[in-house]
Amino acid sequence: MFQLRWIVTQQQDGMLVREFLKQQHISKTALTDIKFQGGRIEVNDMPVTVRYVLKAGDEVCVTFPPEQKSAHMVAQPIPLSIVYEDDYVIVINKPPHMATIPSREHPQGTLANALLHHYERQHLQTTVHVVTRLDRDTSGLVLVAKHRHVHHLLSEQQKQGQVKRRYEAVCHGYVTPLVGTIDAPIGRKGESIIEREVRLDGQRAVTHYEVLQQKNEMTHVSIQLETGRTHQIRVHFSYIGHPLVGDDLYGGSRAQIDRQALHSCELTFFHPFLEKTMTFQAPLPHDMARLL
C-alpha cells in the first residue's frame, strides 16, 4: 500500500486533520477513497477521523487503499526503456509504433500493458497513471505516476504549465523564419474523431520552434509547446505548409519513414516528494537520425 507521513509543525498546531491533509494537497476524492475503500489515517500510530485536532510534533500517516487495474488491462512482458524510476514516478523512453494506453484499435502491446507487468514484478498493487501521453507513432519521454495521488499532484503541475516537454521533429521543406511561434487555434475537423485542424472556433494553441538544421528539402526543428492540444505540433506545421515527414494524416510523405518524424526529447518537472526540479533527455531514435 502507498503511504505518506508528515510531522506537524508549530504553525499547524491546533489544525484539524481535514485541513492539514488539504494543505498537503490530498483531494476530497482521495479522502473519500481512504474512508470507504480500505485506507486509513493515523496520528502517532493511532487511527483517527478527519475531525481530530493535531498538536505540534504529531506524526500523521495516511495509508491509501490498494488500487485495482481495469478488467481489460492485461500485463504483458514487453521490454521497457526506463530512463528514471523511484517509488513515485517512472520515466520511459517510448519507442515509435507503441500506443501509450489500450484502445479499440490497439487493445494490447501498449506502454500500459508493459508497465503493468513491470509493476507485478515489483509486487506493486497499482494501476497505470500516465501524466504525459504520446501518440502511438511519436517516440520519446513519457512521465508516469505510480499512484493516483502522485498523478493528481503532477496533473495540477501540468495545468499550471510546470511540466515542460521539448520535442524534435523533421518537416518537409525549409522552414522560415529560423526562430518563430505558431499561434493558431485548433479544433476537431468536421465529424472526424481523430483529425484536428486550425479553426477560428478552436482552442488556443501556441507552438514555439527553432530550426536546428536544413538539408535535403527537410528541416530539423526543436519545439517547445506553450499549450498541449491533441496533434498540436502536427497540425501547426501542416498549417504553415511544412507537414512532418512521415505524417500522411496531415500531408506528409511516408517515402522515407513509416511514421511522423516527431520525438519527445526532453522532459522537466518538479518532483513533489523529492522537492526538486528534474530534467531528462532522450536522443533521436535511429529512424529520425537516418533522415538527417
* Cβ atoms of 282 and 83 closer than 8 Å: yes
What whole-number distance in Å separates Cα of residue 108 and Cα of residue 121? 19
Residue 194, strand partner residues: none
Residues paired with 180 in a beta bridge: 209
Among residues 33, 58, 135, 258, which one is catalytic? 135
Task: Decide if 248 is catalytic.
Answer: no
Cα–Cα distance for residue pair 102/100, rounded to 1 Å: 7
Q: Residue 80: name the closest of 116, 105, 56, 54 by CA.
A: 116
Q: What secondary structure does DSSP assign to 182-239, as a single string?
A: EE--EEE-TT-SS-EEE-TTSB--EEEEEEEEEETTEEEEEEEESS--TTHHHHHHHH
Inter-helix orientation angle 28-36/148-159, to 10°: 170
Q: How far apart are CA 74 and CA 256, in angstroms?
A: 34
Provide the β-strand partners of residue 222. 168, 210
Which three three-digit cell numbers place residue 251? 500531408
Q: How far apart are CA 232 and CA 234, in angstroms?
A: 6
Which backbone phi and psi does 150 adopt, to 5 degrees? -65, -40
Q: How many CA atoms lie within 13 A of 77 on its CB side?
A: 1
Q: Which residue has the cell 500523521?
A: 60
Distance between the two ends of the chain, CA-based, in angstroms?
Answer: 48
> Active-site residue numbers?
135
